[in-house]
Amino acid sequence: MKAKLLLLSLFLIYIVSLSRLQAQGPKGALQFDGADDYVFFDYNNRGITSEVTVEAWVKTSASKLQLITAKYDRDGERGYQLVMRDGKAAFSGRDGSGTYRISGYSPRVINDDNWHHLAGVCKNGTWSIYIDGILESQSVTGYTAVNLSSNAPFTVGNYYLVNSDYYQGQIDELKIWKKGLTEDEIRSGMCQAANKANPDLVVYLKFDEGPGATLTDHSSYGINGTFRNMSSSAWVTSGAPIGDKSIYRYTNKWNNSLELITDFANFSVSRADNAIAGFHLYQITAAPSQAAGLPSAVGIKEYYGLFKIGAPDKKYKIWFKQYDLPCGEKLYRRNNNADTNWTAVADTVNSPVMTYHSTANYGEFAAARSSNQSSDLLSEYVLCNGKAVMLKSPKAKNATYLWSTGETTASISTSTLGTYTVTVTTDGCSTVYTMVVTNSECPTIPNVITPNGDGKNDAFVLGDVEPFTFELKIFNRWGKSIYQSERYDNGWSADGVPAGLYFYNLKSSRSQNMFKGWLEVIK
């Protein structure tokens, strides 16, 4: 009995581990050349009759008429196709009425060589096209006897009849449902993997098989496609924003944050520009396969991504907190899965919460521990004529401090030139900050003189500098020079000039530093 329980436990562990290994967001996509290549499947209608939804992630810069996918029989007056023309998208077909149906082309142009989600829907005689979860165009036919079953083959990248409307660009995550999805259903599923056991999902192409010449259907039908006029070199790394779990919000008033909460972290977006139409946040439950720029992918249990629907100049704020995050962790970012390099954008030196401001429409984020000790140049201090300055370390909760002088306070006073370091340690993680103390002239310059013979403020006297080390020029309000001395002796008392406002230029003969300002003469 114990042996059977052990075998059952090992089997369950294997299943859970396998599911986590398989859940890694987008891996691959197919690059279509727009000349003659496509993927051929079969003639099965997969239970589609009066309703259908076709979804796909696409990335193209072409302006031609091009077929993303089709099961369309023109002569048989039935079927559907997802198309683009002049960078605009539409969903069209025939419903058995003898009339060609089309949603209308989207006002929005998306041949910008970025990833976009398309969804074509036929439901209750209404043909609709969505881009990135937003309804772009719709045609209400009023026809109720819709029949979309056709004798045409299902293809990806072209209409099966020989023509020149081959798709040019990349395609990923193509799904076909035998029902008309609602707007919320489209939005809830577009940035995450689908449940392939869903009986309404009749085509599910993940595009993750490469290399090879077969495109696997992960739906319950399992009818795979074969390459036509294309080689295994058509497989590319996908940059589509797809995770294993996602959340979304579409609004015109971003007065609350959108939070993706997992077992390990809170990944949120806030302070979004109200011109942003929507956000999707997604989670990928595995370490990233591309780790260049990360200190180590070991220990990363998951990473996160976002997809913004809006103009590329609209701002938002990323707020990230990983539970039990040790000091020394950094938040790394890349544009998408096709980007091989990660870049650090925030850290937890002073706070367990990491924030990052951005305008990008795409982004993926991972938290990783950096080395135990890092070093940063904090600031440069100027020592004025030998007077002591106060060197201050960054504030950190429950921190200890060790200066290069041996002192252990948060700040120290010094009147000695040189380079100083302070090691700030929090939760076992140390960061070294460097401060440089340099010398400079810091003259005290009066802005009022009262030459009345009382011995107080009778002359323009520079303090904290040696005599004869500055050149002085004084101008009236019209820019006319009224006094000049190459080696000023602190003796100018406004003789022969009326009371009023004047301007000075001081130049050090030692450092060549310039000091400019105003001076009021009161008589």
**Would you say 224 and 215 are in contact if contact means Cβ atoms under 8 Å apart?**
yes
CA-to-CA distance for 439 and 229, rounded, in angstroms? Answer: 73
Q: Of 353, 367, 355, whose CA–CA distance to 298 is shortest? A: 367
Amino acid at 48: I
Q: Coil, helix or strand for 282?
A: strand
Q: Do domains 373-440 and 448-521 have the same CATH topology?
A: yes
Q: What is the pLDDT of residue 370?
A: 59
Cα 13 from chain centre: 35
Other C-beta atoms within 10 Å of 285: how many? Answer: 20
* Secondary structure (DSSP) of 286-352: S--S--BTSS-STT---EEEEEEES-TT--EEEEEEETTPPTTEEEEEESSTT--B-EEEEE-SS-S
CA-to-CA distance for 75 and 129, rounded, in angstroms? Answer: 24
Cα–Cα distances in angstroms (integers) from residue 331 to residues 268, 325, 396, 473, in the given order: 13, 11, 19, 54
- Degrees, nearest 5: CA angle 187-192-11: 145
Tokens 């562990």, located at residue: 13
H/E element, 9: helix 2-22
Q: What is the pLDDT of residue 385?
A: 67
CA-to-CA distance for 4 and 424, rounded, in angstroms? Answer: 54
Give the residue ranges of the chain where pLDDT is below 70.
1-26, 162, 297-298, 324-328, 349-351, 369-378, 385-386, 427-429
- Specify the DSSP class assigned to residue 445: -
491-504 burial, b at 16+ Cβ within 10 Å, e below that, comes to ebbbeebeeeebeb
Cα 503 from chain centre: 50
Peptide bond into 211 cis (omega under 30): yes
- Specify the DSSP class assigned to residue 447: S
Q: What is the pLDDT of residue 387?
A: 78
CA-to-CA distance for 118 and 174, rounded, in angstroms? Answer: 9
Q: Of 236, 279, 234, whose CA–CA distance to 260 is shortest? A: 279
Q: What is the pLDDT of residue 21?
A: 36
Mean pLDDT of the chain: 89
Q: Hey, CA dihedral for 465, 467, 468, 470, is it positive or negative?
A: positive
**Would you say 263 and 292 are in contact if contact means Cβ atoms under 8 Å apart?**
no
CA-to-CA distance for 328 and 349, rounded, in angstroms? Answer: 6
Q: What is the pLDDT of residue 397?
A: 74
Q: What is the pLDDT of residue 349?
A: 65
Provide the whole-model pTM.
0.70
CA-to-CA distance for 321 and 365, rounded, in angstroms? Answer: 12
Token readout for 335 is 């544009």
CA-to-CA distance for 206 and 23, rounded, in angstroms? Answer: 12
Q: Coil, helix or strand for 186?
A: helix
Amino acid at 242: I
Size of the chain, expressed as the number of residues it contains? 523
Is the domain defined by 373-440 classed in CATH 2.60.40.10? yes
Q: Coil, helix or strand for 48?
A: coil
Could you state, in order of their start, the residue ranges of all structural domains in the chain?
Answer: 23-237, 245-369, 373-440, 448-521
Strands 52-59 and 168-177: antiparallel
**Would you say 325 and 352 are in contact if contact means Cβ atoms under 8 Å apart?**
yes
Q: Which CATH architecture has domain 23-237?
A: Sandwich (2.60)
The partner residues of 66 in beta bridges, in order of sequence, read 84
Q: What is the pLDDT of residue 2?
A: 38
Cα–Cα distances in angstroms (integers) from residue 373 to residues 325, 405, 432, in the given order: 16, 19, 7
Q: If one looks up domain 245-369 in CATH, what number appears?
A: 2.60.220
Amino acid at 354: M
Q: What is the pLDDT of residue 460?
A: 94
Q: If one looks up domain 448-521 in CATH, what number appears?
A: 2.60.40
The partner residues of 516 in beta bridges, in order of sequence, read 505
CA-to-CA distance for 206 and 174, rounded, in angstroms? Answer: 7
The partner residues of 419 in beta bridges, in order of sequence, read 436
The fraction of the chain above a pLDDT of 90, given in percent, is 70
CA-to-CA distance for 470 and 415, rounded, in angstroms? Answer: 24
**Would you say 517 and 504 are in contact if contact means Cβ atoms under 8 Å apart?**
yes
Nearby residues of 359 by Cβ (< 8 Å), 6 or more positions away: 312, 313, 314, 315, 316
CA-to-CA distance for 223 and 412, rounded, in angstroms? Answer: 73
Q: What is the pLDDT of residue 112?
A: 97
The partner residues of 139 in beta bridges, in order of sequence, read 127
Tokens 């998951």, located at residue: 302
CA-to-CA distance for 282 and 259, rounded, in angstroms? Answer: 10
Amino acid at 86: D
Amino acid at 90: A
Strands 100-102 and 88-95: antiparallel
